[in-house]
């Protein structure tokens, strides 16, 4: 495991256990197969573990070195890198998935959940980062967001970055919100 740009000390870096949004993303991606897949914000490793069974190469990244180091044996995989988005990676992936911090928050205190203004700030940084790491031959990203965040702005930003076929591909009703999966491709 590589330890990279993990030097922010002002953040609360709690571990994020597999939750409703994790399972929502897992259900959507669990039948996808291919050569290379990346899980940005790997956290517990739950999603990365699924990808590792279906792709020749599965990589997980997370800004929080502690969560990567402490992944349980049940979800631990081999290729974990501590970095933001895909910033440290110089390989292109067929599939990039991410359950990012997407909550609309005034500031960013909790690394696992706070998405910043409109729930746009952190997810948009991640989208920018992965735009350089997705295969240009139909590579696909799938990103979790919520009806409580400015997901339409996120979709427009994805199009601005050059992603095609950007759309909400799945919805899951929760008590106060709807979880959404935003998908896009690169051609």
> Is the CB of 88 or the CB of 165 nearer to ligand SAM?
88
Tell me the closest approach of the beta carbon of residue 187 to ligand SAM, in angstroms.
25
Tell me the closest approach of the beta carbon of residue 139 to ligand SAM, in angstroms.
18
Tell me the closest approach of the beta carbon of residue 128 to ligand SAM, in angstroms.
10
> Is the CB of 111 or the CB of 182 nearer to ligand SAM?
111
Strand-pairing partners, residue 2, are: 81
> Is the CB of 18 or the CB of 34 nearer to ligand SAM?
18
Q: Secondary structure of 86-124 in the HEC alphabet?
A: CCCCCCCECEEEECCCCECCCCCCECCCECCHHHCHHHH
> Is the CB of 59 or the CB of 122 nearer to ligand SAM?
122
Binding interface with ligand SAM (CB under 6 A) = 16, 18, 22, 40-44, 46-47, 61-64, 67, 84-85, 99-101, 111-113, 122, 125-126
> Is the CB of 59 or the CB of 67 nearer to ligand SAM?
67
Q: How is 34-99 classified by DSSP, letter by letter?
A: EEEEEEET-TTSHHHHHHHHHEEEEEEE-S-HHHHHT--TTT--SEEEESSTTTT--S-BSEEEE-
Tell me the closest approach of the beta carbon of residue 64 to ligand SAM, in angstroms.
4
Q: Are 71 and 44 in contact (CB under 8 A)?
A: yes
Q: Which residue has the tokens 């573990």?
A: 49
**Strand order across the beta sheet in which 2-3 lies:** 2-3, 79-82, 55-61, 34-40, 95-98, 139-146, 178-186, 164-173
Tell me the closest approach of the beta carbon of residue 121 to ligand SAM, in angstroms.
10
């Amino acid at each position: 495991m590589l330890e990279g740009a993990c030097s922010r000390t002002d953040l609360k870096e709690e571990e994020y256990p597999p939750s409703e949004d994790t399972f929502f993303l897992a259900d959507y991606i669990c039948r996808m197969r291919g050569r290379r897949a990346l899980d940005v914000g790997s956290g517990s490793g739950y999603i990365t573990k699924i990808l590792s069974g279906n792709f020749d190469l599965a990589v997980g990244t997370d800004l929080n070195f502690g969560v990567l180091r402490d992944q349980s044996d049940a979800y631990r995989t081999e290729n974990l890198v501590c970095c933001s988005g895909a910033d440290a990676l110089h390989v292109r992936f067929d599939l990039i998935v991410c359950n990012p911090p997407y909550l609309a928050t005034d500031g960013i205190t909790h690394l696992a959940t706070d998405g910043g203004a409109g729930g746009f700030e952190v997810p948009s940084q991640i989208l920018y980062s992965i735009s350089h790491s997705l295969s240009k031959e139909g590579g696909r990203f799938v990103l979790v967001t919520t009806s409580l965040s400015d997901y339409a702005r996120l979709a427009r930003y994805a199009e601005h970055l050059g992603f095609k076929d950007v759309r909400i591909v799945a919805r899951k009703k929760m008590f106060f919100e709807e979880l959404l999966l935003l998908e896009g491709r690169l051609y």
